Structure 1
């Protein structure tokens, strides 16, 4: 026994040395509350921690839930001597105390918590070696294929595997399951028929549904969500109608019965409930309107259909409840006799029964018609109007309207003649209305006739310009007709026709161009004297024509006055005006010198005649001084030629080779480039960088632009200039210079004034002396 204890101590000592325990750090430290996590199933004699106590302590004491597993050495080495089992105890609550040589507590006790971490050391186990269950046909989604007649039962083997079955060290278990398939009683009931307006006491049971198991909660769902839903269901699954139904209001209902468990979860798909409302004869026939108006011509043959009375019954169609019968019970007036009309018993169609009618005898008949179904009768009223037939033709009041002379420039819309015909048929009907048309003498369509609907007067107007050169004399024939067809055996004759002679006189007219707008297209670089287009005009009277231009504001064109050919006389410039518009004037030579104008539009196509330039004046390009790293500035080029011609493909380069050590120009795309610095050693001043830009046209053109780049001190990424150096404000030096200049000018002015005063004083003294010398001579 002593040997075994010595070997155990030797093992702990070896583990103590090899793992570094005893050194102040991760595995040793002062006595204080701590928590350790240890996997279950580890072998015995596993060191946990070594506690250090004050010098007074000579040993340690371990208490709490040790379960004879945890021990502590006198030197504070805490370890467990047996494997841990999380399923037995997941957490061990321990206390450690430090004792002196007399067994008195020096430190502690302090709490020490040991958490046992789980490992997969238990396999899953079914609670029963065999399970039994049942399922009803169609009772759950996914079980629609079950059929108790074909397969009344199933034997299944169910396996379970822990760790998701993804580890080779996982455990598993199996059991058997016997499933019995039962018939499903949750079935859609047959459609229900309910007679409308039933007098039986409500509610009335109409059908039922049943869930496969008891305790289901039933409800009805109507997707249409009406304001009043006349059905209910109790908790036995019985469905009731709660009030009388009206087929004419709604002839069918479709809703759903649902079954849910006590938690409100649906047990299956809802069942469709269909209810049809059976009709009873509870609606009388109704007339289509207060009075139904029909018409019949006075020459109508016996048996002809006059019209139909369309009564209506709201009961179900194509049943005895809605079959209607028609019968005439009264005719007013009864002239020339009673019974002039018949009505078809079941269709309501009226026919002429005896003879043709005449409007002058009676223009209108009123009939009372009885409409009935098997239980009800209704009186409807029909008015039959007698319509006059078109048995009279229009007759002109004059057969010849004589001659009329008009100049060919008579204005369009001018009324040149009034014609009149009459018709003996009933006024203001299609039989008496007259329409006039020209049947001869106006093949060019120069004239038109408007008819007054009240008087049947015809007004002959000029519709298109008259043309003496085309037709000088028009022999017109008018025809008067009705819009309604004539009665059988009646035809139009000479009385419905009239004649008229229109004589057109000549008027001197201005020349006429073949078109109002002439268009031409030339390149903008055509040589002077190039023909760019031509125009043509004719004079109706055959006179010669002279051509001239009007509106040639740039002086680019000239026209041959005889031929109408147009030539260039100056360089053309598309960039100045891409569509050049002028007026061409054609003037008679001789006669009254009448003239007319047309438009000449000359489109100029582009050539590459504009060098590239900057798209804008770049005045704000700058770098912050001192430059900390090379930088770049982006600029854009363009030119005034068409984009399609030059294609917007520019090339860029420095305009001076001497600048290549300091600057670099790089192309970004067809229109943009960047100007970059190659170093940072630039002075604080403005640099003017020439850049050469070439286009992609033919012939290629090149332009040189200058980019002004300022190196300046910056504040918030902007150039900063002190107020003393702002443009327009003088500096201190400038102010001193201005003051000195001012004082100098003032000094010069004062010196000149002083000199002039002194000079004048000296001259005055000389004159005084001279005067003194002369006086003795006078004495």
Structure 2
């Protein structure tokens, strides 16, 4: 046996080398090889280096049935794992080739191996029975008579199935063997010499069948021949071989063929019956039945082309003579294939999940498709449904690869249910399908996206620290970590005056929760400090690399009424009493706190502005819209306050009955909810007009801060105003000098007379849009300039001349006034008989005629009551004295009025 095995191995190696050169690995192994027998060096033949088979997981994929070979993991050799029986695997088919698929991973590749199982002579010829009984009539059976014998069968193929027959030596019988084709032989027992029952009633012969294998195997059957008397005609069939074709779909009881035999004998010797004496394949004998009388052969089961393509029946017609004689024929049934087998689809390898960034052409699965039918019925076409990102590529006969045809997007489709459909070429075609589930794995290819590019958030000021302001949300369609979004404040802030003069980042005001996107306030917000805060919020996913998206947040702080009105000091800024129209202020403990006081002259008409209360509110809008209300005294008092201007004016003409002092409590409220307020206490002293003006002038010079002009005027006069005052002062001095000279000359030529003139009626001249006014006597008039003009006040004086003779004093009309600059001082300074107050020395540019009223009200000029002026006569020294006195007064006034 060892001598025979060596050449076989060499032949197998040569065949394998030839197969590799042709593009397919082919091996050959004899059946019944021992387990562990090396079929071939598969790894070496596939071009794998040492160690690669195990590293790349070289393995064998079985298709449909259990394979009897396996791949050795260490060496990569193809070895026999279990008993190989060619007859069990392929039956009579030749050659017996097994198609194997070998997979190699990293990268995934498939190789097709064809393993041919060669036949060895392991099956001896086998007769249908161990004994065959024959009856031959004597005498009537002539020499040369032929008696068919049932031949043996051999499960092997090729030379191992080539049978030869020998008959044991006999002088009466010989064996005739005829070959109908290369696979079948007809055996006949030929009578060579007439039989003599009396000499030998029974002949026992041994028929031996030997195959062509090496060593040859054989099988025997014992022929027991009984010699009968005279029934010398056996039934004869009209043809020795009946050839029939039936489709494998033929139903049970279908008529296969009707055989016909005749017997020329008479009586019982011609009465015969039909029977099936043998069938090939032997295991299919019960598939047919014959009617003993009619010779009709019918099916008792279903034909199967894939199991047996050809059936051979031996039919015998045996008469009832003594001894009975028989005739024989054969029926050859060819089974015609029909499309009764649907294709079969197997998934031999599946590489899932598939990354959504996998390249086109990536192999997802390996498939095997087969159909047991033949011809067009066995030709299979495959397709993928639905038509999408996957396609099929034929790699070998019956093998396909499921590959990627298009780019994947997990956010659009996260999983595919692919159906591989197979259809054969039969009529009608049969179909089969195999579902393949292909999940798509995620990659980080989507950045977080906010629902809005800009978020507008409103937050009330004085909110609690930690209060939730808004909730931001960014969507990331990726999954797991690629879709997990975290939030942070990226950039932004506020600078300049809103941040206290420096830059403050947005992260010092707000914070965003990294997980939920909730926007929190880190500290209470103050509208007065911060109105608008703009910053960016960034959303970053946890992918690799991470992707991010931004959104702009505009945080608007909504004002709350959290600031009460604050009272402002007078425009002069210093303590002490102010001029008329501006309240004086004594500093208190807080902003705007303290006592306010002002003067008002008795007899002041209704509408005269006494003082102006100023207040501000740090809030905005309605919360900063202030209104002024007179809280005390209630009822009909002598004063009233402007609802929105804060000007305190007389509600009626002031009388001596109003007392020397009025205490006013003024409440300043805003329009917020709830409203906040501040209270100012104003003390108004009621004095005579001259005393009020003198007190105002004296206190202004003593306190270090003068009266401010109306709200439209600035702290000092412009350069053009200074030039006008200088010109007016010079003209006034020159006019007085000339007047003195003229009066002196007139006194020389006219009689001396003392003219007493009384005061004329008072005249009110208003020039302000807001009701400012000035008050003058008969002999003096005051001109007030509106706020917008930005000019200093001008005073117009008229000298008192005696009325024409015969005219009443009350009917006297003033002469055209002479234009004098107010730097000459208030009019009462020139008309009152008491000495002039000493004016303190002030540097040039100091201001004392300033009005604190924001509305630009004109100041109340004193009303000269009951004053009389005497025009003295001719002494020249008197005129010179008056001239120098007036000149000195004008110099001081100009020095204190004109700014540098």
Regarding TM over 0.5, the answer is: no
TM-score, reference length from structure 1: 0.27
Could you say which structure has the higher strand fraction? Answer: 1
Larger radius of gyration: 2
TM-score, reference length from structure 2: 0.24
Could you say which structure has the higher helix fraction? Answer: 2
